[in-house]
């Protein structure tokens, strides 16, 4: 029976170790994809930016699918290395190269998507705030959720100006003298009721919102805009997805090289015998 040289044995076990890491990264990709799909905040965050959540959902489903494939391939690679099967390693390498191509395309698309979202973010946020807040229950709840969760108000750092002359302002503000939605105010309850905002002090909140000179203004009204916080949230999520995928690609390249080396050494050993 043919036996591998000492160097080939080392390659064999190194390949097994890398495939085990590969298998673990499959588990991680599965986890990240499932996390994006089940994140309870995602719908709210993407709603006010008019981001097509179904597109993001589809991308996450693709990530879960890739994670499952990586998981399976990692297991096959481990078996191929331990059993010294040239045929198994050939099939494993071919599938891995195909997967590499798909992942490179996915990273490029993710980069394009994130750039497009950030480029249009302010415009889309103003669109939903101006026309949909107070008219659409879904958008209203999303804006309230984000302003309370992120302790921000409006789009930019000029909260009152942002809300002035919106649909909500014209329909509500003039009737009850409120200048910003209650979700812009420091909240009374802890933990905060996201679906029914209650200001700590309505009068102080509206006064602080309309007068930048009010002492301790930030104690009553959120004075920062939501655009920066939402941009950071989007960048963090997309950055994680890209980072995990790039890490997997680098591991896969090493695995492909090792698999080719081992396959060549196995073939040589058997031809020699």
CB 129 within 8 Å of CB 147:
no
Do 107 and 121 belong together in one domain?
yes
CB atoms within 10 A of CB 193: 12
Residues 118 and 239 in one domain: yes
Asked whether residue 77 is assigned to any structural domain, the reply reads yes
| Same domain membership, residue 120 and residue 12 | yes
Q: Is the pLDDT of residue 222 over 80?
A: yes
User: Do 108 and 18 share a structural domain?
Assistant: yes
pLDDT at 53 over 60: no
From the CB of residue 237, how many other CB atoms can be counted at a distance below 10 Å? 20
Asked if residue 139 lies in contact with residue 128, where contact means CB atoms within 8 angstroms, the answer is: yes
Answer yes or no: do 84 and 210 share one domain: no
**Cα distance between residue 26 and residue 248, in whole Å:** 8
Residues 250, 214, single domain; the answer is no
Structural domain includes residue 24: yes
Q: Which segment of 188-192, 195-199, 216-220 scores lowest on mean pLDDT?
A: 188-192
**What is the C-alpha to C-alpha distance for residues 148 and 163, in angstroms, rounded to an integer?**
16
Euclidean distance between CA atoms 66 and 33, whole angstroms: 9
CA distances from 198 to 28, 70, 142, 262 (A): 40, 48, 16, 66
Same-domain pairing of 61 and 108:
yes
pLDDT at 69 (0 to 100): 78
Whether pTM > 0.75 for this model: the answer is no
Do 238 and 119 share a domain, yes or no? yes
Buried b / exposed e across 23-53, counting CB within 10 Å, b at 16+?
bebbeebbebbeebeeeeebebbbbbbbbee
49 in the same domain as 103: yes
pLDDT at position 174: 57
Domain limits for position 86: 6-127+227-272
> 88 with 27, same domain?
yes
- Give a yes or no: residue 122 inside a domain: yes
Percent of the chain exceeding pLDDT 70 equals: 76
pLDDT of residue 261: 77
Residue 134 lies in a domain: no
Q: Of 89, 95, 109, 107, whose CA–CA distance to 4 is shortest? A: 89
Higher pLDDT, 43 or 123: 123
Residues in the chain, overall count:
273
Q: Residue 203: inside a domain, yes or no? A: yes
Q: Give the pLDDT mean for 84-112.
A: 77
Asked whether residue 88 falls in the same domain as residue 164, the answer is no
The total number of structural domains that make up the chain: 2
* Arithmetic mean of pLDDT, 50-60: 59
């Amino acid at each position: 029976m043919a036996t591998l040289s000492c160097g080939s044995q080392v390659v064999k076990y190194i390949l097994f170790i890398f495939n085990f890491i590969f298998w673990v990264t499959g588990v991680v990709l599965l986890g990240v994809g499932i996390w994006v799909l089940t994140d309870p905040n995602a719908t709210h965050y993407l709603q006010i930016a008019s981001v097509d959540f179904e597109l993001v959902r589809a991308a996450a489903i693709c990530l879960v699918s890739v994670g499952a494939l990586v998981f399976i391939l990692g297991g096959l690679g481990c078996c191929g290395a331990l059993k010294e099967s040239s045929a198994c390693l050939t099939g494993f390498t071919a599938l891995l190269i195909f997967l590499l191509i798909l992942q490179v395309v996915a990273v490029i698309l993710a980069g394009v998507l994130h750039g497009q979202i950030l480029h249009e973010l302010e415009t889309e946020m103003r669109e939903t705030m101006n026309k949909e807040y107070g008219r659409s229950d879904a958008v209203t709840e999303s804006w309230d959720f984000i302003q309370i969760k992120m302790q921000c108000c409006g789009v930019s750092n000029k909260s009152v100006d942002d809300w002035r002359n919106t649909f909500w302002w014209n329909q509500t503000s003039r009737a009850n003298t409120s200048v910003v939605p209650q979700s812009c105010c420091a909240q009374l309850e802890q933990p905060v009721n996201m679906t029914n905002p209650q200001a700590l002090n309505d009068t102080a909140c509206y006064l602080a919102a309309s007068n930048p000179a009010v002492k301790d203004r930030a104690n009553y009204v959120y004075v920062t805009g939501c655009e920066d916080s939402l941009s950071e949230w989007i960048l963090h999520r997309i950055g994680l997805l890209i980072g995990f995928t790039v890490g997997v690609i680098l591991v896969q390249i090493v695995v492909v090289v090792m698999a080719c080396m081992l396959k060549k050494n196995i073939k040589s050993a058997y031809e020699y015998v």
